């Protein structure tokens, strides 16, 4: 056989390579999402989620995501005439992603409906779908979506900015908010010397004409991390005469001139490449006080809490997309005489990935439902208070492990940039540090147990909804109940406590709502610890073949 004949034969053989997974419907192919959305009160939104799942899963949107990350944003500090402009320029695909998310209302739809009617659950489900394809642009979407929680402390500012925050029109121009149909809001808390310890900040705010709530101040200071620097305004922390306070700092002032906000440089980050993260300086910049002086942390924390659940959503979204890619690959790739998914060892790995992801999805949607009902139900509010921290801590950490193992299922093809998996892997660690690293979140859980003892009661009550269904789970619930009574003050043991809380909560949700085979495998491996130290070590008794096939998206 000639060389040309050999090459033609190889080219015509199909080369044992799976076709791309996309286009596919991210909503209808998820084995647990639709039922969870309905169970948490958002079933009426299902048709819209089906439509959005198809749109987000299109080849076009996947291509936008690839291009927005291949061609990252660029800082342009000066115009060609030498004027200071402090702008960030993005690839057109980034703007396409932003326009899609804003039009879908991912930043505002939870403000539009009646509390308890499922709008927040539906919004989180839609965010979950979008983040599977591209999560970087979700940063300004999330911060804008949470900004009104903080602005509510200053009604006149909320009234002025609210309509533009709730608008579904995306306008990337750096012009006055009054000249735009919609606005985006960012957040600047972190400083170089303090990091998570925001009370170590050194930025200062000087009142103009007496200042006071809603009044004007002049801010000077440097912020070490300011994501989405092309936002129309930032919520910022700075020290006023009465202590650390929260301010709304617009990029463009009401008279149309640019505020004195200088972009120093963009961060060259591990992941999240489509999103610009900057260092910026406030140089006698105009800002307006939100709430009372000295109450800055209490004010801005409402915005932080709103974004924390989005970090959790993104973490689980990365898990689902990675497992979908792995499941698709192993069901269409042959080796050693059969399809990979027919190999017991691969089945064990994929099944382990699937039970982790299904449990995480149930936990995320249950938390979304608690937030949805928190306004009217004190018990749900108490659960959301501690549950958000538990879920954020655990799921953002599990995400990295799941994405890594899913990437290994795909093998070398998963390591090339044309694959979505390298981007998912780079993104995964970010969610564990954004809006509170593991230790910060662990301390938050301990604070909740100390200051809000009803949170512990609500959490135990949530677990006990599954009591009586499985003796192993009952024993674990008793263990958690006892641990919560002795946890206060045990800082060194906080991580261990939260891990157990998260695993038992997930098991309880699987007992109540999960597939029986998935539930049994999770309890055996996670509660009974009948497993190895890595994924892919489920016990022989687990229904690994049927669980593994749940990971394969059916187009």
Residue 184 CB contacts under 8 Å (≥ 6 apart), including other chains:
107, 140, 143, 144, 228, 230, 231, 232
Q: Are 198 and 133 in a shared domain? A: no
Query: Within its chain, how far is the Cα of 129 from the centroid?
Result: 11
- When pLDDT is averaged across residues 348-354 and rounded to a whole number, the result is 98
Helical packing angle, 138-151 and 119-133, nearest 10°: 150
The pLDDT of residue 7 is above 50: no
Q: Are 179 and 213 in a shared domain? A: yes
The pLDDT of residue 435 is 85
Q: Which of 119, 121, 135 is nearest to 61 (CA)?
A: 135
Q: Does residue 4 belong to any structural domain of this protein?
A: no
pLDDT band at 196 (very low <50, low <70, confident <90, very high): confident
Strands 334-335 and 338-339: antiparallel
Q: Are 433 and 543 in a shared domain? A: yes
Question: Pick from 273, 296, 319: which residue ends a domain?
Answer: 296
How many domains does the chain contain in total?
Answer: 3
Task: Identify the sign of the CA torsion 380, 386, 390, 393.
Answer: positive
The pLDDT of residue 350 is 98
Q: Are 277 and 389 in a shared domain? A: no
Task: Calculate the alpha carbon distances from 483 to 22, 285, 498, 499 in Å.
Answer: 46, 49, 10, 12
Q: Does residue 28 belong to any structural domain of this protein?
A: no
pLDDT band at 13 (very low <50, low <70, confident <90, very high): low
Tokens representing 35?
């039922």
- When pLDDT is averaged across residues 129-138 and rounded to a whole number, the result is 98
Helical residues (DSSP H) of 256-330, grouped into ranges: 296-330
Q: Are 269 and 356 in a shared domain? A: no
Q: Are 527 and 425 in a shared domain? A: yes
CA dihedral 287, 289, 290, 294 (to 10 degrees): 130
Give the residue carrying structure tokens 């980034």.
Answer: 94
pLDDT tens, position by position, 392-423: 999 999 999 999 999 999 999 999 998 999 99
Q: Does residue 26 belong to any structural domain of this protein?
A: no
The pLDDT of residue 172 is above 80: yes
DSSP, collapsed to helix, strand or coil, labels residue 335 as strand
pLDDT tens, position by position, 535-544: 999 999 999 9
pLDDT tens, position by position, 15-52: 899 999 999 999 999 999 999 999 999 999 999 999 99
pLDDT band at 264 (very low <50, low <70, confident <90, very high): very high
Q: Are 408 and 304 in a shared domain? A: yes
Q: What angle do CA 453, 118, 436 make, to 5 degrees?
A: 45
Before 475, cis peptide (omega within 30)?
no
The pLDDT of residue 322 is above 90: yes
Q: Which of 504, 490, 542, 161 is nearest to 347 (CA)?
A: 542
Q: Does residue 236 belong to any structural domain of this protein?
A: yes
Question: Pick from 134, 161, 188: which residue ends a domain?
Answer: 161
Tokens representing 331?
């069901």
The pLDDT of residue 12 is above 70: no
Q: Are 212 and 141 in a shared domain? A: no
State the residue range of the domain holding 276: 175-296
Q: Which of 140, 133, 19 is nearest to 68 (CA)?
A: 133
Q: What DSSP letter does each residue of 253-272 carry, written as one string?
A: -TTSPBPSEEEEEE---SS-
**Percent of the chain at pLDDT exceeding 90:** 92
Q: Does residue 467 belong to any structural domain of this protein?
A: yes
Q: Are 309 and 445 in a shared domain? A: yes
Tokens representing 337?
């005489």
The pLDDT of residue 6 is above 80: no
Looking at per-residue confidence, does 104 or 8 come out higher?
104
Rg (CA), the chain: 24
pLDDT tens, position by position, 356-395: 999 999 999 999 999 999 999 999 999 999 999 999 999 9
Tokens representing 349?
């790995």
DSSP, collapsed to helix, strand or coil, labels residue 218 as strand
Exposed / middle / buried, residue 424 (Cβ in 10 Å: 0-12, 13-18, 19+): buried
- When pLDDT is averaged across residues 350-358 and rounded to a whole number, the result is 98
Calculate the average pLDDT of the chain. 95
pLDDT band at 482 (very low <50, low <70, confident <90, very high): very high
The pLDDT of residue 283 is above 80: yes
Q: Which of 532, 551, 518, 533 is nearest to 341 (CA)?
A: 551
Q: What is the CATH number of the domain that holds 543?
A: 1.20.140.10
The pLDDT of residue 8 is 56
The pLDDT of residue 5 is 63
pLDDT band at 114 (very low <50, low <70, confident <90, very high): confident
Question: Pick from 278, 296, 314: which residue ends a domain?
Answer: 296
The pLDDT of residue 83 is above 50: yes
Q: Could you tell me how many residues make up the chain?
A: 555
| Strand ranges, E, within 316-472 | 334-335, 338-339
pLDDT band at 488 (very low <50, low <70, confident <90, very high): confident
Q: What is the rounded distance in angstroms from the CA atom of residue 521 to the CA atom of residue 517?
A: 6
Task: Calculate the alpha carbon distances from 308 to 100, 113, 196, 278, 395 in Å.
Answer: 22, 21, 14, 20, 12
* H or E stretch at 377: none
The answer to whether residues 438 and 498 touch, using CB atoms and an 8 Å cutoff, is no
pLDDT tens, position by position, 424-440: 999 999 999 988 899 99
Q: Does residue 12 belong to any structural domain of this protein?
A: no
The pLDDT of residue 227 is above 60: yes
Q: Does residue 11 belong to any structural domain of this protein?
A: no
Tokens representing 260?
């004195």
The pLDDT of residue 112 is 82
Q: Are 217 and 366 in a shared domain? A: no
Q: What is the CATH number of the domain that holds 280?
A: 2.40.110.20
Q: What is the rounded distance in angstroms from the CA atom of residue 240 to the CA atom of residue 212?
A: 10
Task: Compute how many other C-beta atoms are within 10 angstroms of the C-beta atom of residue 65.
Answer: 25
Q: Are 272 and 329 in a shared domain? A: no
Q: Does residue 9 belong to any structural domain of this protein?
A: no
Residues forming beta bridges with residue 134, ordered by sequence position: none
Q: Are 405 and 536 in a shared domain? A: yes
């Amino acid at each position: 056989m000639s060389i040309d004949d050999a090459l033609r034969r190889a080219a015509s053989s199909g080369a044992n390579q799976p076709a791309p997974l996309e286009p596919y419907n991210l909503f209808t192919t998820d084995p647990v999402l639709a039922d969870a959305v309905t169970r948490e009160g958002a079933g009426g939104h299902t048709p819209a989620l089906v439509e959005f799942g198809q749109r987000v899963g299109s080849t076009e949107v996947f291509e936008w995501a690839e291009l927005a990350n291949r061609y990252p944003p660029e800082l342009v500090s000066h115009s060609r005439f030498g004027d200071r402009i402090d702008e960030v320029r993005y690839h057109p695909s980034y703007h396409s992603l932003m326009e899609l998310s804003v039009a879908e209302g991912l930043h505002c739809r939870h403000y539009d409906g009646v509390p308890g009617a499922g709008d927040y659950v539906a919004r989180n489900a839609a965010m979950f779908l979008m983040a599977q394809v591209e999560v970087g642009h979700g940063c300004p979407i999330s911060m804008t979506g949470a900004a009104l929680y903080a602005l509510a402390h200053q009604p006149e500012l909320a009234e002025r900015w609210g309509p533009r925050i709730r608008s579904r029109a995306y306008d990337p121009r750096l012009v006055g908010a009054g000249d735009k149909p919609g606005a985006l809001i960012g957040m600047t808390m972190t400083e170089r010397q303090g990091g998570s310890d925001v009370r170590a900040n050194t930025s200062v705010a000087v009142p103009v004409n007496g200042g006071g709530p809603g009044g004007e101040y002049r801010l000077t200071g440097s912020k070490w991390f300011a994501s989405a620097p092309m936002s129309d305004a930032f919520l910022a922390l700075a020290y006023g005469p009465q202590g650390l306070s929260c301010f709304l700092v617009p990029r463009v002032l009401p008279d149309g001139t640019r505020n004195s906000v200088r972009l120093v440089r963009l961060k060259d980050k591990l992941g999240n490449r489509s999103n610009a993260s900057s260092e910026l300086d406030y140089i006698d910049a105009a800002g307006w006080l939100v709430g009372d002086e000295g109450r800055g942390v209490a004010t801005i924390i409402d915005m932080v809490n709103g974004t924390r659940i989005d970090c959790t959503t993104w973490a689980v979204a990365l898990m689902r997309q990675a497992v979908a890619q792995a499941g698709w690959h192993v069901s269409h790739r042959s080796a050693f005489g059969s399809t990979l998914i027919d190999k017991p060892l691969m089945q064990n790995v994929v099944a382990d990935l699937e039970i982790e992801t299904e449990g995480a999805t149930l936990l995320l949607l249950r938390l979304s439902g608690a937030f949805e009902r928190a306004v009217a139900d004190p018990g749900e509010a108490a659960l959301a208070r501690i549950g958000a921290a538990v879920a954020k801590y655990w799921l953002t950490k599990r995400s990295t492990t799941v994405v890594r193992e899913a990437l290994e299922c795909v093998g070398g093809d998963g390591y090339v940039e044309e694959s979505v998996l390298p981007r998912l892997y780079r993104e995964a660690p970010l969610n564990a540090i954004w809006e509170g690293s593991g230790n910060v979140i662990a301390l938050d859980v301990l604070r909740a147990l100390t200051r809000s003892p009803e949170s512990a009661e609500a959490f135990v009550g949530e677990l006990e909804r599954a009591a009586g269904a499985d003796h192993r789970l009952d024993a674990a619930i008793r263990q958690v109940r006892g641990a919560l009574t002795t946890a206060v003050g045990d800082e060194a043991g906080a991580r261990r406590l939260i891990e157990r809380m998260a695993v038992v909560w997930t098991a309880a949700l699987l007992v109540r709502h999960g597939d029986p085979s998935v539930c049994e495998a999770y309890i055996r491996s996670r509660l009974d610890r009948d497993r190895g130290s890595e994924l892919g070590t489920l016990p022989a008794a687990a229904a690994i073949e049927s669980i593994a096939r749940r990971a394969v998206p059916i187009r």
